[in-house]
């Protein structure tokens, strides 16, 4: 009855309405970060992509200055020491391609930071502390992959050219050769990032060492298929070295994750 009388009195002129209790403010998510909407995430992604592209452009400009010495060093790995162009614009496109690859390598620290800055707000403070030290190591593994590709390249080229003779002359076209080289560099550099990914997944509780060990046979099959398709040229040296490196890193990652108690 008291509630009904209160509603009736609130509807009469001159009678003030009973104020409703104030609603408590929404609690902030762990870590003190503000809640982001879908449009905020899209805007953040656009900003990170723009900065990444800008870093690659700046690195490519620097790479264009060093593209000729790098080109000469890559061509010097061939027995002939020269390659031939098939079109008037091939020389420029090859130099541009080399510049972009150098730009990606130089911009890799910025690219890794942009990826980390985009995904870190979705992690808890403890997950950030666990994953953050591994972000700089991703750059080391990328450089290691490029170094392995540089080591493998002469042997892969020598194996492929061993099937040529006086009849099947090795008049190597510049375009396919530099496609082969640049693809190998990027493939080896990016593939060696997967141990960092596995460690990061273990740190946030998505995977464990026992789960990785039980999936070993499927991982070996996947590594073999990926190494055979990712390496250009069709030789036996490149996929063997790439697959062997991936498997050794996989086993090393399992041991490391097990030592951390996960």
Considering only residues 139 and 232, tell me which one the structure prediction assigns the higher pLDDT.
139
pLDDT band at 261 (very low <50, low <70, confident <90, very high): low
- Is residue 127 within 8 Å of 204, Cβ to Cβ? yes
Domain extents in the chain: 36-259
Spatial separation of the C-alpha atoms in residues 18 and 23, rounded to whole Å: 15
In this predicted model, what pLDDT tens digit does every residue of 107-131 receive, in sequence order? 888 887 888 777 777 767 776 776 6
Element (H, E) at 100: helix 90-119
Helix (H, G, I), strand (E, B) or coil at 173: strand
Is residue 178 within 8 Å of 74, Cβ to Cβ?
A: yes
Q: Whole-prediction pTM value? A: 0.63
Decide which of 6 and 159 is more confident. Answer: 159
Q: Residue 199 — very low, low, confident or very high, per pLDDT cuts 50/70/90?
A: confident
Distance of CA 94 to CAs 75, 103, 197, Å? 12, 14, 32
Torsional class of 14: left (φ above 0), alpha (ψ -120 to 50), beta (otherwise): left
Helices 174-191 and 38-75 meet at what angle, rounded to 10? 130
- Give pLDDT tens digits for 62-72: 988 888 888 88
pLDDT of residue 218: 83
Interatomic CA distance for residues 133 and 261, integer angstroms: 18
């Amino acid at each position: 009855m008291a509630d009904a009388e209160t509603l009736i009195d609130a509807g009469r002129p001159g009678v003030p309405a009973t104020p409703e209790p104030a609603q408590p403010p929404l609690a902030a998510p762990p870590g003190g970060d503000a809640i982001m909407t879908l449009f905020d995430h899209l805007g953040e992604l656009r900003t990170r992509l723009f900065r990444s592209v800008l870093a690659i452009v700046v690195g490519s400009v620097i790479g264009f200055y060093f593209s000729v010495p790098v080109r000469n060093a890559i061509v010097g790995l061939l027995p002939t020491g020269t390659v031939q162009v098939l079109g008037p614009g091939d020389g420029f496109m090859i130099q541009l391609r080399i510049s972009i690859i150098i730009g990606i390598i130089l911009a890799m620290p910025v690219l890794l930071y942009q990826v980390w800055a985009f995904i870190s707000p979705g992690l808890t403070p403890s997950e950030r502390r666990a994953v953050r030290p591994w972000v700089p190591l991703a750059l080391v593994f990328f450089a290691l992959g490029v170094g392995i590709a540089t080591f493998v390249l002469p042997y892969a080229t020598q194996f492929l050219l061993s099937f040529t003779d006086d009849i099947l002359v090795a008049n190597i076209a510049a375009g396919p050769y530099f496609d082969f080289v640049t693809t190998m560099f990027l493939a080896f550099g990016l593939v060696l990032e997967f141990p960092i990914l596995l460690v990061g997944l273990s740190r946030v509780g998505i995977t464990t060492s026992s789960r990785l060990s039980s999936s070993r046979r499927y991982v070996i099959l996947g590594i073999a298929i990926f190494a055979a398709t990712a390496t250009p040229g069709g030789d036996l040296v490149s996929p063997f070295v790439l697959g062997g490196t991936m498997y050794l890193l996989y086993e090393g990652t399992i041991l490391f994750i097990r030592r951390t108690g996960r």
